[in-house]
Chain A
């Protein structure tokens, strides 16, 4: 059992070590995940910032065709000359010019809205901003981005108006010796389309927010965009973040254990309005050792080398089974076979040298126990008594004349020794076809004593049919055999019972006399008394296999 036990201990140690390692691994994984997530979020935020700046620069370049369009400068200058009201023809011509130039700009590089603003800050013409339809006094001159453009600067801004806009503006010059005639302003709405475009180009999950609401969101395919809605509940606490308040970029914040987010203010007026964007990533953490299973994707599972794991498991299980077989099953089987031989009497005792370990000791103890019991003369045998073992070899029919009739020798021979019962056919040869034919027995009938039939003649047995004599210990014990006397006076009763039973069983009793019967009983009694030292033998009648039979009970009193 040493190998098995060693193996169990080893397996236990391996299991414990595996569990410990898994806990360590999950902790390390979570810590590394946190660090990687923070770095990833910072990278995402930086990339989005760069993208916004680069996008603004690229789009500001798209304003040059507007500024160089002769009609734009011309009609802005015309509008400047009329401080009271924008000339209608200037509006029309400028609108046409804006539409003309807009049509030439590639769609992905263009604007959602373009405004032409004169020196007074009035919007002389625009395209793509239908909210201002019918508003003759619509102007933009107060915004710093437009003012800067009117003063000769090109720059960007983020405005929060009816929606959030990324805006670029540049001056429009009519006379280089004079102040710019006006400014051209291009705006892109920050909506889901904008966010989607940004997400596709940067790979970041990004959401824009303003006025405490999410304005737009988009994310890569593996990220559920709906998760970004969670930032709305976090915005109220955002101003408490020192980094966000002072530097415009928050620390990494985890929302409800679902996503990790980093907020960044948008440049421009939106900065002061608390508008910005959030980049998010799913937390790469496992809740415990088993969390790896739920987190692992197909790629991870492929890298898991499942065949090696299965091979190791099979080898470990095989070794365990082998050790168990060698140290448990095989010795037990050897012991079992040896015990079976011992039980069958093939061997006189168990051979300890055939066994190993504990089984050797057990065999030795069993042998010692048997020897001691034999030295005591053996204990009482429990269970049915073997009549043959008790009586010894019972003589065949010629000897047992009391139980047989002339010509019954062949039937007697049919009753083989060792069958557990001594059968002595009693029917005569004259009975003809009746010989050996069993009488029907009630189904499930057990050996029992039959009451004597009323009026039955005890000795009037004209012909004795085949009778069976069997020594069997009844299940009810010896008490059922009555308190009969030890002399032959009982045998008349036994004879009457036997004859009556034979008749009931349909056997013939012709020629079956008490003398023969008594002589047979006497011989058997003597044999039993001699063999077992019994004081007397009590006989009883019962039915076996549909025929009357006798049972002998040696009594040691």
Chain B
């Protein structure tokens, strides 16, 4: 079972201690409200029809991200689409009808060219703890966020930031252009979860009642909002998976992308020939 907010800490002695503290704080906050949390099991579909905006931007030749980039013939075309890594990038949130209390600090790992998670939905006032898990420093900052100015975070160090209000906040790293994180401040979010590679997810809500299950990707809502009524028992939503993106639209987008790339290549060749 995963905590309702945030991700597991890295398995180092320091982070283990931090993770334990997070758990204790979270349990302390949730236990008086409910004796037993209900689990909402569900599944997302169409993750491979999504497109990671960072990677999609990086593949554009105009971004000068590479000197050569070629597909490997043995890899099937369907896998070449730059779909996101769902366990980090697709955030499933259970939205209550009323504002929710801010949860304990949520750990965000910074490493490997991205944050974990990449998208997170939390109530305003939630404190996020950014921990550098890379062997080199990062310099995080919030885009147009006065309370999150660029500052170095060395290896293993942490940095705190509280979500100032409702809205979408983008976090970047001055030293790693590919690192982009989106924090969605929503006062009604009661629980969040991240799907597995297969698309399965499990939300833990503490209070019975009416909820809306909504998926978020890259700071935006994706797919339909799924209203659910939670009672004392666990709820299985797998039979009606959240369809995040339409395959036809994705295929059409891919075709359009291929056509665009082809026309640009032809244009470049023509210009080269004229020269």
Contacts and interface: CB of A to CB of B under 8 A. Distances in A.
Interface string A38-68: 0000000000010011001100000000000
Contacts of A177: 76
B12 to A, nearest CB: 7
Given A53-B68, A152-B72, A156-B68, A144 B54 contact: yes
Interface in B170-217: 175-179, 196-197
A141 B67 contact: no
B202 to A, nearest CB: 13
B229 interface: no
Given A161-B134, A269-B65, A141 B113 contact: yes
B69 A153 contact: yes
B68 A120 contact: no
Given A144-B55, A248-B64, A269-B178, A137 B11 contact: yes
B70 A267 contact: no
Contact of A153 (B11, B71, B83, B85): B71
A157 B59 CA distance: 11
Interface string A132-160: 10111111111111111001111111001
B150 interface: no
Contacts of B68: 53, 56-57, 155-156
Contacts of B19: none
B67 A53 contact: yes
A142 B72 CA distance: 20
A28 interface: no
Interface stretch (A168-176, A212-220, A230-238, A347-355): A168-176
A240 interface: no
Nearest to B54: A144
Given A137-B111, A157-B66, A147 B82 contact: yes
A9 to B, nearest CB: 57
Interface string A254-266: 0000000000010
Interface residues of A, number: 56
B10 interface: yes
Given A135-B135, A173-B74, A273-B175, A153 B67 contact: no
B87 interface: yes
Interface residues of B, number: 46
Given A142-B179, A162-B136, A148 B67 contact: no
Contact of A176 (B63, B65, B74, B177): B74
A83 B177 contact: no
B272 to A, nearest CB: 15
A146 B58 CA distance: 12
Contacts of A483: none
Interface string A351-373: 00000000000000000000000
Given A120-B85, A157-B65, A137 B10 contact: yes
B75 A148 contact: no
B237 to A, nearest CB: 21
A267 B66 contact: yes
B274 to A, nearest CB: 18
B136 to A, nearest CB: 4
A272 B81 contact: no
A104 interface: no
A250 interface: no
The CB with the most chain A CB atoms within 10 A, among B11, B12, B176, is that of B176
Nearest to B80: A152
Contacts of A481: none
B197 A137 contact: no
Contacts of B39: none
A144 B65 contact: yes
Contact of B136 (A85, A119, A161): A161
Contacts of A155: 66, 68-70
Interface in B13-50: none
23 contacts: A53-B68, A56-B67, A80-B197, A121-B85, A137-B133, A138-B133, A138-B135, A142-B112, A142-B114, A143-B112, A146-B113, A148-B55, A151-B80, A151-B82, A152-B75, A153-B70, A154-B70, A155-B66, A155-B70, A171-B75, A179-B79, A268-B64, A269-B178
Given A131-B135, A151-B82, A156-B68, 6 more contacts: A138-B135, A141-B112, A144-B59, A152-B72, A152-B75, A173-B72
